[in-house]
A = this chain, B = another copy of it.
Amino acid sequence: MKKIEIVQGLLDANNATAAGNRALLDRHGCTAVNIMSAPGAGKTSVVLRTIAGLDAHVRTGVIEGDVVSTVDAEKVQGTARAVVQINTKGMPESCALVADMVDAALRRLPLEELDVVLIENVGNLICPTEFDLGEHLKVVIASTPEGDDKPLKYPLIFADADAVIINKIDLLPYVDFDMGKFTQAVRDLNAHAPFFALSCKTGEGVAEWVAWLRDRTRKA
């Protein structure tokens, strides 16, 4: 039983740190959003569209999570008020952000100048479900080329989501993706999360998502 006990110990420690992160964010009136998806579903594109959409109303900071590289932080720099890159390389935490990493990143962000912190998780539909980061909202992004069966194969991340984004709807004419099948599969797992079908490429549907998120910030 030693292995399972240690895993449980790690998760308990993570939850305690996550609670601290949430308290810190709350003291500053910041809403934190944990953005999760498979690799290449468009997390960074959603982050960029979201910053632009919120910009007139609320001040947005970003925490970029990746195993290695600063590719995403470089894309976001210049649009967000502040960006911190986390590289998760190392074992065994490398497959997702954990609360400790977000704690370190939050200490480097000017929280007193921010209303929203977008946390772009590592591209992974499995591991991020294990780790509370202290976020207020969990958002999962699926993209149409991935296929409509993803909720069946990665149910937990869809079951826990506060909102589900279906990105790359501009590709619908070219891929086998049944929107009805996808939304029904999510609804079977999650009775309440709203759906936002959008294209970061064309901008279609982005406004509805941004309006929903803005309503959930403290400075709405």
Contacts and interface: CB of A to CB of B under 8 A. Distances in A.
Contacts of A155: 67-68
Number of copies: 2
A193 interface: no
A24 B148 CA distance: 37
Interface stretch (A54-62, A102-110, A168-176): A168-176
Contacts of A123: 38, 125, 153-154
A194 interface: no
A35 B60 CA distance: 39
Interface string A26-43: 000000000000111100
A12 interface: no
A52 interface: no
B152 A69 contact: yes
